[in-house]
């Protein structure tokens, strides 16, 4: 088993419960961690035998472009896409952070973290 991390994916998006948040938009940071069997790719040196971090980045960027009220909703969509697109991923963690949230205080960011094992079908 191994872990692939894609950290600090920076995205501008339009999420939030306040109507002005969906109009103005704000900066976000997404971090992904996935567990998969990386030994086949370690031996073969073949991209087809691993989890492509280009794909992971693309999933995060694409899902962040669909406005939602809650960061939890965005994080869950990203998780679902990872499991759909990356068949060897057994576990994933998604962290979505809103930078400078409009919560009436001096707060750097708020973060939602969801993690999940591959659903049994």
Indicate the domain borders of the chain. Answer: 2-117
Question: Rounded to whole angstroms, how far apart are CA atoms 106 and 121?
Answer: 44
Question: Rounded to whole angstroms, how far apart are CA atoms 100 and 107?
Answer: 6
Q: In this structure, is the dihedral angle defined by the CA atoms of residues 114, 92, 7 and 54, taken in order, positive or negative?
A: negative
Known active-site residue 98: yes
> Is the pTM of the predicted complex or chain greater than 0.85?
yes
Catalytic residue among 76, 87, 98, 109: 98
- Which is more confident, 16 or 74? 74
Q: Identify the burial level of 42 via C-beta atoms within 10 angstroms of its C-beta, where 0-12 means exposed, 13-18 middle and 19 or more buried.
A: exposed
Q: What is the CATH number of domain 2-117?
A: 3.30.1130.10
Average pLDDT over residues 67-87: 96
What's the Rg (C-alpha) of the chain? 16
Please tell me the predicted confidence (pLDDT) of residue 121: 54
């Amino acid at each position: 088993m191994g872990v692939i991390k894609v950290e600090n994916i920076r995205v501008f998006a339009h999420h939030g419960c306040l109507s002005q948040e969906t109009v103005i938009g704000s900066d976000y940071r997404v971090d992904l961690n996935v567990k998969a069997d990386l030994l086949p790719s370690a031996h073969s040196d073949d991209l087809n035998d691993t989890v492509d971090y280009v794909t992971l980045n693309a999933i995060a960027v694409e899902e962040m472009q669909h406005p939602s009220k809650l960061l939890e909703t965005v994080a869950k969509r990203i998780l679902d896409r990872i499991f759909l697109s990356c068949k060897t991923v057994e576990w994933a963690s998604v962290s979505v952070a809103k930078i400078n949230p409009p919560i009436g205080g001096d707060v750097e960011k708020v973060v939602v973290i969801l993690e999940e094992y591959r659903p049994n079908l």
